[in-house]
Amino acid sequence: MKTKQIPLTASQRQELIRISRSQKSESRIVIRSKIILYSSEKKTYDEIMRLTNHCRESVAKWRKRYLESGIEGLKDKPRPGKPRVITAEQHALVIEKACSKPEDGYTNWSQRRIAQAVGISQTKVQNILSQADLKPHKIDYWCGKSPDPEFENKMTEIIGLYISPPANALVLCVDEKTQIQALDRTQPELPLRQGNPKRQTTTYKRNGVVSLVAALSVHEGEITARTMQSNNAVNFLSFLKSLEKKYHKKQLHLIADNLSVHKHKDVTHWLSKKKNIHMHYTPTYSSWLNQIEIWFNILTKDVLKGGIWKSKEELVSQIMNYIKIYNKTRAKPFQWTYTGKVLKI
């Protein structure tokens, strides 16, 4: 039996083609638009049923709905029953919950627990938070304002050394990375394969810890470092003496944070007798001004993250070998790349 053709204007056909090819349209709307397009091409019911995998009743239904209401007829009619309404109080309560600290030992709200507390669906909570641009699951970190009354002077002094160091002077950023664990896994590591990442057991055994004290030559990028059993004034002073010996013909400007080890009486007494060594301390809570922290982050990503060591000696050997290769192949000054607005403190 021949199927009656549905006539379409050029604009109607174009709109139906757009819907049928859209990646964002609901699949059921895509199928319904194809039913109408096939019906406009003189295809029979059997052909349309085969192409859309729909029964005869369904094809007849959407043909009729389109003839009555056009493209709007392809949409689902409202279901019977009163639609669920979110009250203004519930809307405000969702935002209040998201912006407040939860009780019962939780630190952060989840959308599921907000939904349970307010008595609405998690989807509704998600929509409300999205409209208000609130993300209770997310935490951003920023450098808080330093309480140091001399913050501006200390910061300006350090940045001045970075940008325009004195003649015949060497600027060194010094700090320690402590408690580096020599971790071994209880089972052999499974190597990276196609479709599978490198895999390690969650269980491990500790083979001791190592501390690293390092100095970054700001304008050359070279790293001077040594490992130590513990971070104390004796080891720090010994490291400073090794820097003096290595750069004995230079005026040294050392940048360090306010760790008590760096200001120990033995350290300050030794520095007071050295006219060629000048210590500059970062402002309180501002160790981010020390460029060695950037290099420690590089070390962590390149060496420490996911590493496996059978002993402390193996860990120390890998770190020192890495530094040797880094100085030969990668050492260069860090470049300022921020191009945004000036941040007000």
For the chain, strand residue ranges (E) read 169-185, 204-217, 223-228, 251-256, 277-281
Q: How many domains are there within the chain?
A: 3
Tell whether 126 and 193 lie within a shared domain: no
Task: Report yes or no: 272 and 141 within 8 Å, Cβ to Cβ.
Answer: no
Please tell me which of 47-56, 144-153, 277-286 the model is most confident about, judged by mean pLDDT.
277-286
Tell whether 255 and 323 lie within a shared domain: yes
CATH label of the domain that carries residue 275: 3.30.420.10
The reported pTM is 0.66
Residue 126 is part of which domain span?
A: 88-131
Tell whether 173 and 210 lie within a shared domain: yes
Tell whether 179 and 106 lie within a shared domain: no
Does some domain include residue 195? yes
Does some domain include residue 319? yes
Tell whether 201 and 93 lie within a shared domain: no
Q: Which of 63-67, 157-161, 189-193, 212-216 has the lowest mean pLDDT?
A: 189-193
Tell whether 54 and 181 lie within a shared domain: no
Tell whether 100 and 198 lie within a shared domain: no
pLDDT digit string, tens, across residues 278-322: 999 999 999 999 999 999 999 999 999 989 999 999 999 999 999
Separation CA 133–CA 95 (nearest Å)? 10
Tell whether 213 and 263 lie within a shared domain: yes
pLDDT of residue 146: 86
Numbers of helices and strands, H then E, in the chain: 12, 5
Tell whether 159 and 111 lie within a shared domain: no
Residue 1: pLDDT above 70?
no
Tell whether 112 and 206 lie within a shared domain: no
pLDDT digit string, tens, across residues 229-268: 889 999 999 999 999 999 988 999 999 999 999 999 999 9
